[in-house]
Amino acid sequence: MDINYIHNLFLKSSGVSIDTRKIEKGSMFVAIKGERFDANTFAKEALEKGASSVLIDNQNYYIDERTVLVEDSLLALQELAKFHRNYLKVPIVALTGSNGKTTTKELINVVLSKKFKTKATVGNLNNHIGVPLTLLSFDENTEMGIVEMGANHQKEIEFLCEIAQPDYGYITNFGKAHLEGFGGVQGVIKGKSEMYHYISKNDKLAFINLDDAIQVEKSKVLNHYSFGVNKEEADVQIAGIRANPFVEISFDGLDIKTHLIGLYNANNINAALTIGRFFEIDAVAIKEALESYVPANNRSQILQKGSNEIILDAYNANPSSMVVAITNFLQLEKPNKIMVLGDMFELGEESQKEHEALVDSLKNEDRVKCYFVGKAFNECAREKANFHFYETFELFSAALTSVAFANNTILIKGSRGMALERTLDFIK
């Protein structure tokens, strides 16, 4: 594989595409095999739709000189991204963690945009395909890159770091996410810490939350810049945090009033603030940036439907994020509270225990009506007046047709596969 030749083709293109349904004129199409299809079969279609070149790994689909045959298209995409990253030499802030990655990435982006021309991961394109696509979206005008990295097994973050080669790294937290792939909580800590290992090995810099005991321990072997709430030893000292329901941060004599709900978002805000200060962005500009950010995509959104106030947090869920979301919700000084909670996925052998623990944690909460949706929750069914269990969303939605929602505050949270945002269709 002649990576220089492929990179020159890329530089002449309008960008990379892996989906002929979204292809742009002049783009480079990379044919990646999926579980259900072989994208090599779309090479001709890509050229007909205006692609300037196509990368394939099956010679049976070779068309003409616009076709580049490689041994493995996915590997070619990853190598191209790594080559392009070194070609541009853009400073990169990378982040991973169990919860809050995408929100933190968005906050870092709005803050750094106050000083730099930034490019950041779009949505949650944070895996072995998404990270290369993010790097290939950088161009000669990009002054700072923000790259989100997701993982569900060991060595994945290590692999992504070798491609992106971040100059700065941050881990949001270590929680009970993807337990099945990581092999338990200790596996999560080990897997996410691969970010720190890269930072340490390559003499780069880590951003450290001193309110996280695990990060404090890891910081002993890292070149780092830290933050903490009322921590004198922190490089950036947060004077105070409040949430009812929106998070407010006191810093450097300023009160920052955000559109994010729940104290669990405070660390995400603090991290973005800290990274902004490290890059010498004015505190007032940071305040403006953080106050301008409004969450979307089913992540901690507050919506109004009729007389009902809805906290929609249905993008994803794991035991750690569930606990903090529920804790925050229970602390809200609101009458007529309802929770719609969906199954948590990828917990492996821990699934039953974690779902039961969550249900049991609510056994004394008589003032909140709880709807549990999904097979895992249904297997934890308890006889309790304010508990309602449904094995499928269809059974749940059928029951909702006879429920009159009025003047309620409603939390909706579950794993992505549950698609609990559909609940909105039944709330008038």
In order along its 428 residues, the chain shows pLDDT tens digits of 799 999 999 999 999 999 988 899 999 999 998 778 889 999 999 999 999 999 999 999 999 999 999 999 999 999 999 999 999 999 999 999 888 899 999 999 999 999 999 999 987 789 999 999 999 999 999 999 999 998 877 789 999 999 999 999 999 988 665 556 666 677 778 878 899 999 999 999 999 999 999 999 988 889 999 999 989 999 999 999 998 778 999 999 999 999 998 888 999 999 999 999 999 999 999 999 999 999 876 677 888 888 999 999 888 888 888 988 898 899 888 889 999 999 999 888 889 999 999 999 999 998 899 999 999 999 999 989 999 999 999 999 999 887 778 899 999 999 989 999 999 988 87
3-state secondary structure of 383: coil
Rounded to 5°, angle at Cα 291 from 287 and 297 = 140
Phi, psi (rounded to 5 degrees) for 246: -80, 145
Among candidates 134, 114, 112, 173, which has minimal Cα distance to 18? 134
Tokens of 45: 């279609």
In the DSSP assignment, the letter for residue 38 is B
Per-residue model confidence (pLDDT) at position 184 = 67
Angle at which helix 283-292 crosses helix 266-278, to 10 degrees, equals 140
Q: Yes or no: say if 55 and 47 are a contact pair by the CB < 8 Å rule.
A: no
Angle at which helix 101-112 crosses helix 283-292, to 10 degrees, equals 130
3-state secondary structure of 353: helix
Q: Yes or no: say if 345 and 176 are a contact pair by the CB < 8 Å rule.
A: no
The C-alpha atoms of residue 230 and residue 208 are separated, in whole angstroms, by 15
What domains sit in the chain, N to C, each tagged with a CATH number? 3-73 (3.40.1390.10), 90-292 (3.40.1190.10), 301-426 (3.90.190.20)
3-state secondary structure of 360: helix
Q: Yes or no: say if 373 and 396 are a contact pair by the CB < 8 Å rule.
A: yes
Q: Count CB atoms within 10 A of the CB of residue 163.
A: 20
The C-alpha atoms of residue 403 and residue 395 are separated, in whole angstroms, by 13
Q: Count CB atoms within 10 A of the CB of residue 172.
A: 24
Per-residue model confidence (pLDDT) at position 178 = 58
Q: Where are the beta strands (DSSP E) in 10-156?
A: 16-17, 28-30, 53-56, 67-69, 92-96, 118-120, 144-148
Element (H, E) at 321: helix 319-331
Among candidates 178, 158, 185, which has minimal Cα distance to 169? 158
Among candidates 101, 78, 209, which has minimal Cα distance to 150? 101
Alpha-carbon torsion angle 7, 8, 11, 14, nearest 10: -90
Give the residue carrying structure tokens 């999926």: 34
Helical spans, DSSP H, in 165-309: 179-182, 185-192, 194-201, 213-218, 266-278, 283-292
- Give the rounded distance of the alpha carbon of 297 from its chain centre: 11
